[in-house]
Every structure is written in structure tokens, then in C-alpha cells.
Amino acid sequence: MSIQARFDIRQPAFSLSLDTGWPGSGVVSLFGPSGCGKTSLLRAMAGLDRHPGSRFVVNGTVWQDDAVFLPPHRRPVGYVFQEPSLFPHLDVQGNIRYGLRRVPAAQRRVALDRAIGLLDLEPLLARRPETLSGGERQRVAIARALAVSPELLLMDEPLAAVDVGRKQDILPWIESLHRELDIPVVHVSHLPEEVARFADRVMFLENGEVRATADVQEAFARLDLPLAHRAGAAALIETRVAGHDADYGLARLAFAGGELRVASDADLPRGQSLRVRVAARDVSLTLQRQHDTSILNVLEASVQEIRDEDRARATVRLDVGGTPLLAGITRKSVHDLALEPGLRVFAQVKSVALLRLERAPEAVRTLEAIDLEQVPEEERHVFRFNLGRAHENAGNPAAAHAAYRRAIEDRASFRPAVKGL
């Protein structure tokens, strides 16, 4: 499964030419400066704009080439715009169900109830758009895009119109979609924080072309790409929970280069996958392992590359057992430590941020495989509560909240039938 894209977009203010491809699963983030053509590329993929000489193939189906052009209404695509653009005369349920008319029942790949549950929209179904917050409106827009059972989901800066406080409310819902639904996503953002949380791959657009495409870990650590040179430059590390230190509230996260210990309030399941962020400014270097230090995470590494940022600062790319790491230090430190490619050093990591949990563990898959009709009615609220706990442990807040709410509803509906309780 793959996606192949060739577009030659000519506009008065810019031009963009690309001929590339990427896997037909996961999230690809388009990253680049304003005006580089990110939104125009999404519109071309959706069929909203037609450009001669283009070719677009999604998992083996030709959507556009010299002989074929599927109009937007015939493309199985969901589009989430910067502005939700909900129909004001319809309630939330009407907005979500609007696109169902173009999808025959036999071709529906996403159950509407599941999309509503993942985005926690059941309490909002009867409300009108004008009564919703910005984050709630965007969640409705995402559910509407999913209702058409898309084979490709396009998201154009989905948090751009949401205020800072509400962004933290909606981020977990979008992350849940990434984990729970097997739909390829093309995501546009100019915010590295969004890219770090959502993306599997990053496509850099610059000066009218694709400058580079890389998996997200490399995209943040390559010194020839812009993400490694901004003020908040950081490396991303894919880890797995190896254990816990209950006495001190620490989780042990294993990765190819060793182990990180991080403070964690949650009892993360052993074996759970986690993406973590290590800021370059939080990494210092020594030539000898330091023992009398408050820094818990000290990793053996080798210097791969050094680049000056300005007269005072430099960024050092390190290899930690095959995992890239960045250190932001002074040029004087580079000189004093005589750093050069190949030199063995010790990286002292002062802070680690948890970013994203990967797909739900086996407990969630096992519970979701159970036919609820086979569960006795008086036990269904317990089943849903256990499912909620499994989703919560897996880092799926939206699905956990929906399961807990259904558990309460099941318990309330059963009580009247049980005399004396």
C-alpha cells in the first residue's frame, strides 16, 4: 500500500512541483514556511483544484492522471479545514451525518458511532454549532470528515482556529484517531509541536519543491533540515516501558541506546510504546561518566556531526546506539572538549517530555473483540468500565471517557429492572 503524487502547481504568488510517494498508512506532515504551497497541495489531492500533468494514486487506485480525474464528490477523502465551517442550520448530529448520503452502507469503513465515541461527541449531538466552543466545533468537523469513511484524511492545520487553552483539550482526541483508525493522513502544520506528536513522516516543502522526506525521528535530528535549528530544537525517541520505580514515582523507558528514567504519575503498562521528546538545550556533554550528579539519565554516545548556530552556540548530533540525539552547547565547549565526529562522549539528559503513546495494548484489543451481546446485561457496565480502564492505561483519553460514560448509562438503565436495589 502506497500513495504516489505528482503535481505541478502554478499560482501567481508561488509554484510547487513534486513527484514523490510515501507509505499508504500513518501520518505524513507537510512542513514549511507560510506560502510554500501546503494548503494548495491538499486542495489538489482532494480534487478541489485541477492542475495539468498531475498524477495521484492512493493505494493502487488512480484518482487523477492524464486520462482520469475523479471530482471531489467521487474521491473517498475526508477534509478537515482550518475553520470547522459547520452548517449553522443543522445540529451536531446533522452535521456529522451530512456526508453519509454519498457513501453506500456496504462501503462504510468507519462506524459512525465509533467516530462519535472516539471524539466524545455524544453529549453534543443535539446542540447547534453556535453553542459550541472552538475545540468542540473542530471535533465535530473531524467526525464529519470521518463519516464518509475516507481512504485518505486531509487535515489542514486543524488547530489553527483553536485558542491556546482549547488546543490542549483537542490534542488527545486527534491522537486517539491516529492510534485507533487505520486511515492514512496528510497533515499540514507550521507548528513543530504538532508534528512531533502526530507525524510518522515529515515532508519538507521549500522554494517550490520537496526539500526532503524523512521519518519523524530523523526529521527532527537532521542538521541539514530546519527543525534541528529552531529555538526549541529537540530529538524524538521511540521507547517502551520497561518497568517502574514505585518508591520514587519513576518509569523506566527502554530504547535501542539504553534506558531513560522519567517522572510519571500514571502507572504506565509494561511494554507500552511511548514517544518522548528530549530538548537539545537539556543535554550536556562530558568526556567521562559523572557519578556525583543529580542528573539521572546519562547515556554513552558518539559525536556524529557539529554545526555552528551563531558566534556563541553550536548543535551537536549524537548517535546513542543507533538513536539520534541533539545537544545544544556553546562553541567554546566544543573547543574545550575537542569535540569531533567519532569521539565518544557521555550525554547528560536533564529533562524528558512524554509525547505520544502508540497503539492500544493487547488488553484493549482483547476487550473490543468481545461481542457485547454475549455479556449478561447486569454485567455490561462492569465490562465497559474495564474497557475504559484499558483505554486509559493505553493513553486513549477519548475512548476511555466514552467507555466510562457508557458504563454509567448501562448501570442506570439496568437499575429499574432490578427490584430492591
71 plus 189 within the same structural domain: yes
In angstroms, the CA 274 to CA 154 distance is: 25
pLDDT tens by residue, 222-237 = 999 999 988 889 999 9
The CATH number for 341's domain is 2.40.50.100
Average pLDDT over residues 124-139: 89
Q: Which pLDDT does position 419 carry in this prediction?
A: 37
Question: Which ranges of 252-393 would DSSP assign to H, the alpha helix?
Answer: 331-336, 362-368, 380-393
In angstroms, the CA 357 to CA 31 distance is: 22
pLDDT tier, 420 (very low <50, low <70, confident <90, very high otherwise)? very low
75 plus 221 within the same structural domain: yes
Is pTM beyond 0.85 here? no
188 plus 70 within the same structural domain: yes
The CATH number for 46's domain is 3.40.50.300
Give the end of a domain, one of 164, 197, 229.
229
105 plus 183 within the same structural domain: yes
- All cell numbers assigned to 63: 484518482
148 plus 182 within the same structural domain: yes
Helix (H, G, I), strand (E, B) or coil at 119: coil
In the predicted structure, residue 160 carries a pLDDT above the cut 60: yes
pLDDT tens by residue, 95-110 = 988 877 777 777 777 7
In angstroms, the CA 157 to CA 26 distance is: 17
Q: How long, in residues, is the chain? A: 421
347 plus 405 within the same structural domain: no
| Calculated CA dihedral for residues 159, 24, 34, 226, nearest 10 degrees | 100
The better pLDDT of the pair 366, 339 is held by: 339
Q: Which pLDDT does position 180 carry in this prediction?
A: 66
Q: Which pLDDT does position 230 carry in this prediction?
A: 83
Calculate the CA 67 to chain-centre distance. 35
The better pLDDT of the pair 266, 109 is held by: 109
The better pLDDT of the pair 411, 17 is held by: 17
Domain extent, residue 412, equals 360-417
Q: Which pLDDT does position 413 carry in this prediction?
A: 64
Calculate the CA 52 to chain-centre distance. 33
Q: Which pLDDT does position 17 carry in this prediction?
A: 92
In the predicted structure, residue 111 carries a pLDDT above the cut 50: yes
pLDDT tier, 13 (very low <50, low <70, confident <90, very high otherwise)? confident
148 plus 185 within the same structural domain: yes
Q: What residues have CB less than 8 Å from 14, skipping those under 6 apart?
A: 35, 36, 37, 40, 208
| Number of structural domains in the chain | 3
pLDDT tens by residue, 364-397 = 655 666 666 666 776 677 677 667 766 655 556 5
- All cell numbers assigned to 262: 522519567
Q: Whole-number mean pLDDT of the chain?
A: 84
219 plus 346 within the same structural domain: no
Average pLDDT over residues 329-356: 94
Task: Tell me which residue has cell 546506539.
Answer: 321
Give the end of a domain, one of 356, 377, 404.
356
243 plus 346 within the same structural domain: yes
β-strand 15-23 against 209-215: which pairing, if any?
Answer: unpaired
